[in-house]
Structure 1
Amino acid sequence: MFTNEEIASFNELETSLYNYISQNIEKVAYMRIRELADATHVSTTTILRFCRKIHCEGFSEFKIKLKLHLETNNTTVLKESHHSVTEFFERTLAGNLEEKMIKAAGVVANADHIMFIGIGSSGILAEYGARYFSSLGKFSVYIKDPHFPIHTNILENSVTIALSVSGENNYTTTHIHQLKQKGSHIISITNTKHSTISKISDINIPYYVTEEKLEGSNITTQVPVVYILETIAREVHKQNRQLE
């Protein structure tokens, strides 16, 4: 909205005006010039000079600029956390999620080596998954370096559990290709089955919640992923106990 050069050119009164506008953009966009002058304790002349400094011919043009800014930078309205969890249970648990988790658990239970991969928040959960599986008796590791040397004999009867919200992360996709080519079975947990990662996986478990982003960051809830990971780990433990 305001460039660094424009802000640097403001005098003391104009800086005060700038601070008020920045904190009250939605209100200022519909004010008359006299109302803004009264609210900021500056003259209308100061406001007009301010408008010219940001390349607007007058206050009317400045308000149009403000409204356009609001339209293109709408603040994301975050859902309450329980809405996301409810959405997950309503959309997914009514389907075949349990069947997919049991199938995945069977593959994991029979594997000699378990590896988790992911990046960002998915990477944090991948590390958590490795620790949780290990705590329940199935030793697992989290690999975050796609070039980490892994011997082929380790991958012969291994399972890779890949986590990705979008299912399109290039790092994770590349890692999957490398592991898959060396014989590792791929289980992916993604937000949708219509993604690159889900399609190249042997088993895909989608959880379907509305994806949310805030200022470029993906803030989609990860509660479903925790639920799926813990359920699979417990099922693996159960199956292994039955074989004892």
Structure 2
Amino acid sequence: MIRKDKSRVDLYGDRFRARAHQLTPRLHQVATYINENREAVMEQTAMEIAALLKTSDATVVRAIQALGFAGLRDLKSTLEHWFGPAISASEKISTTVNILASDVNSSIDFVLEGHQHTCEVLSEPNNRFAMAQAVALLSEARQVAIFGIGASGVLAEYTARMFSRMGLPATALNRTGIGLAEQLIELQRGDVLVMMAQKSAHREGQTTLREAKRLGIPAILLTNALDSRFSKEVNVVIHVPRGGEKGKIPLHGTVLLCLEMIILSVASTTPQRSIKSIKRINELHRGLKPGKKSN
């Protein structure tokens, strides 16, 4: 989350408005993209921007320089100054606990209200329709890949385990760096991707989506950031509020709530597969009990 400091001068915006008419169509396209996607640009390379706009990284750099910046690094420094510092996880926790002020009832209400609001949003017609679309895709999947990093990585592991119990092969995409690359290499055509991601267009999510698109894998996004870059690139978007407004700590239980709705819906759509899988798990479990003799 980035705090935009409205008291600061919008240097990029001023230069864009003043010089836009002087730019060639290609340069104008790049400059417009940057102006409209500032948070995403903060985490993108010139090559990534170029790939999105189907142009060259040299054109991206020329557009930036045409507006009076030395290069992408100088531009990002200017945007960072305009946005102000990002709100860290420690700041969110501090804000939340200070507001709750050691009041147990306030803490209980904070979590309950967050989940209640999420239940109301998830039950809205547009979310029900999105969930039905997601379930239709998942019911026909060869395998489900669940993407989530950080705390969401734990949810990805749990979700993969639950799908597997229901007879639908599943794998978690919850590492970073080379570890994520090793997980991504297992994706194949016929899979379906479930993503947990918010506003930040981080490289892990971008790389995962690129690989999914290369393989023709449909993507389902669970997010509270409906205007994010990820929201524009997936097949299905499910709106999942997290109760982290005004710098407060976000709730992960709301995402788990949505995931369990999806898991149960998929299981009920293919009941024979689900029942057969659970029965087989129980049979295997009986064979693992102490005192069980092998033939």
TMscore range, shorter length: 0.5 to 0.7
Q: Which one has the largest radius of gyration? A: 1
Label 1:75 to 1:236 Cα distance change in 2 as closer, same or farther (>3 A). closer
Q: Residue 116 of structure 1 aligns to which amino acid in structure 2?
A: I
Q: Residue 129 of structure 1 aligns to which amino acid in structure 2?
A: T
CA distance in 2, matches of 1:127, 1:82: 25
After the TM superposition, which residues 200-211 of structure 1 pair with which residues of structure 2 at under 5 Å, given as runs? 200-211=233-244
Identity of aligned residues (%): 25
CA contact (8 A) 1:213 1:219 kept: no
In structure 1, the partner of 2:21 is none
Q: Give the SS at the match of 2:211.
A: helix
Q: Determine which of 147, 169, 188 is the counterpart of 2:181.
A: 147
In structure 2, the partner of 1:97 is 127
Label 1:183 to 1:212 Cα distance change in 2 as closer, same or farther (>3 A). same
Q: Residue 227 of structure 1 aligns to which amino acid in structure 2?
A: L
CA distances 1:145-194 after superposition (whole Å, capped 9, x unpaired)? 33126568x52111011111335333212221122212211111111221
Give the TM-score of the pair, scaled to structure 1: 0.60
Could you tell me which runs of 5 or more consecutive residues in structure 2 were left unpaired when the two chains were aligned: 1-90, 101-106, 275-295
After the TM superposition, which residues 66-215 of structure 1 pair with which residues of structure 2 at under 5 Å, given as runs? 75-76=95-96, 77=99, 80-143=110-173, 144=175, 145-148=179-182, 155-166=188-199, 168-212=201-245
Label 1:242 to 1:134 Cα distance change in 2 as closer, same or farther (>3 A). closer
Aligned length: 169
Moved over 4 A (4+): 149-152
Higher helix share: 2
The CA RMSD measured in Å over matched residues stands at 2.9
Q: Residue 195 of structure 1 aligns to which amino acid in structure 2?
A: S
Q: Residue 131 of structure 2 aligns to which amino acid in structure 1?
A: M
CA distance in 2, matches of 1:185, 1:130: 17
Q: How much has 1:213 moved relative to structure 2?
A: 7.8
Q: How much has 1:95 moved relative to structure 2?
A: 3.7
CA contact (8 A) 2:122 2:128 kept: no
Q: Residue 142 of structure 2 aligns to which amino acid in structure 1?
A: D
Q: How much has 1:222 moved relative to structure 2?
A: 1.6
CA distance in 1, matches of 2:261, 2:146: 16
Higher strand share: 1
